[in-house]
Structure 1
Amino acid sequence: MEIKDFNIDFESLKDGKHQFVYEIDDEFFRFFEQSPVTKAAMTVGAELEKKPNLLMLTLDLKGNVVVECDRCLDDIDISINSRHKLYVKFSDEEIEEPEMIHIPEGTRRIKTAKYIYEYIILNIPIRNVHPDDEKGNPTCNPKMLRKLEELSKEEENKTDPRWNSLKTLLN
């Protein structure tokens, strides 16, 4: 797999709708530095609608990615099922608009990998932790939870001596 495999050469396409399918796996995320995704099995359906002065790209993301749990550092599986629209306008001006990109006149292809990656990352929750069981107990790695508890108790017992004189004011 190469990053250029995700380029759509629209110059040779006729006006109308065109379908593309991409299989996303672990290798895809190696193209992006510091990606939080460690494993992936996704299908991206791309529909490009070509019009004389505009391209409309619809991306359907379906599958799973694996990221690190923020609490215990074990792998956690995140399911993704979303649809995103991106409008591509031909313009030599650099104008920032949400969901609209501007590319120079004469451009022959659109590089979709960056947008696929960004939409996948946007579907990952800000905080990734294993869900609690039916009794409300965390399902994270028990060894790591014990270690975290030990470390938090040690931190509670350590007090900065500069605060001792202020504590006397409370009494």
Structure 2
Amino acid sequence: MKPLKEFVIPFIGLKVGAHQFEYKIGPEFFEYFEYDDFNNVNVDVCVNLVKKETLLELQFKISGIVNVNCDLTNEPFDQFIENEFNLVVKFGEAYDDENIDILILPHGAYELNIQQYVYELIVLSVPIKRVHPGVEDGTLNSDILKRLEELSPKTEDKKETIEDIDPRWNTLKKLLTGK
């Protein structure tokens, strides 16, 4: 996969000190990775790079909105995401990215590709369970929600089953509660 040019930082020409890079991430970024879980994406990425004599420190900050489908109703909604990630880039004999927070580049390296870190940070910022805000506060009118409510077990059935329990078990329950 050919790297996206805008996410390649040529650090060899930068002066020692702090540098800031800003990116606007849209749906075309995720098309590059062939990731189609998002309907739409509008995320701002700010990368603060501090160049030191022997290493680089990067701080990634993202905030924005991804449009995803609700896991319960399949209705699309905008999910706000915000996250941070710190990365230390050191130089060594060979490329090594086994440690999550430390990247080792070969001594002759002159640029750093951050597209994979941006991609993973955005994808991992979205909650595992995606629930439409209208489901939580009861304002969403959806055929799927109505059907789920019709098919859900009724509370009256639970009361009947409690009464149908053998009364001998009630004395054992007293042992658990101490009453």
Q: TM-score, normalised by structure 1?
A: 0.76
Tell me which residue corresponds to 1:30. 31
Alpha-carbon distance between aligned partners in 2 of 1:31 and 1:68, rounded to the nearest angstrom: 21
1:28 is paired with a residue whose SS is: helix
Alpha-carbon distance between aligned partners in 2 of 1:86 and 1:145, rounded to the nearest angstrom: 43
Alpha-carbon distance between aligned partners in 1 of 2:150 and 2:119, rounded to the nearest angstrom: 38
The amino acid across from 1:67 in the alignment is V
Flag the structure with larger Rg.
Answer: 2
More displaced 10-residue stretch of structure 1: 142-151 or 121-130: 142-151
Deviation at 1:149, TM superposition (A): 6.4
Unaligned 5+ residue runs, structure 2? Answer: 154-179
Tell me which residue corresponds to 1:143. 143
The amino acid across from 2:115 in the alignment is A
Describe how 1:30-69 pairs up with structure 2 within 5 A: 30-69=31-70
The amino acid across from 1:26 in the alignment is P
Alpha-carbon distance between aligned partners in 2 of 1:92 and 1:39, rounded to the nearest angstrom: 41
Hey, which of these two has a bigger chunk of helix by percent? Answer: 2
Deviation at 1:30, TM superposition (A): 0.9
Deviation at 1:89, TM superposition (A): 1.2
> RMSD of the alignment, in Å?
2.4
Deviation at 1:64, TM superposition (A): 0.8
Describe how 1:1-171 pairs up with structure 2 within 5 A: 3-93=4-94, 94=96, 96-131=98-133, 132-134=135-137, 137=138, 139=140, 142-146=142-146
The amino acid across from 1:4 in the alignment is K
Unaligned 5+ residue runs, structure 1? Answer: 154-171
The amino acid across from 1:62 in the alignment is S
Alpha-carbon distance between aligned partners in 1 of 2:43 and 2:97, rounded to the nearest angstrom: 32
2:100 is paired with a residue whose SS is: coil
The amino acid across from 2:42 in the alignment is A
Aligned residues: 149
Question: Aligned in 2, Cα 1:151/1:123: closer, same or farther, shift over 3 Å?
Answer: same
The amino acid across from 1:84 in the alignment is F
Residues 55-109 of structure 1: CA deviation (Å, up to 9, x unaligned): 1111111211111211222212111222221111112343622211112221111
Query: Is the contact made by 1:130 and 1:138 (CA closer than 8 Å) also made in structure 2?
Result: no
The amino acid across from 1:121 in the alignment is V
Deviation at 1:148, TM superposition (A): 5.4
Alpha-carbon distance between aligned partners in 2 of 1:92 and 1:138, rounded to the nearest angstrom: 58
The amino acid across from 1:14 in the alignment is K
Question: Aligned in 2, Cα 1:35/1:101: closer, same or farther, shift over 3 Å?
Answer: farther
Alpha-carbon distance between aligned partners in 2 of 1:16 and 1:130, rounded to the nearest angstrom: 43
1:127 is paired with a residue whose SS is: coil
Question: Aligned in 2, Cα 1:126/1:138: closer, same or farther, shift over 3 Å?
Answer: farther
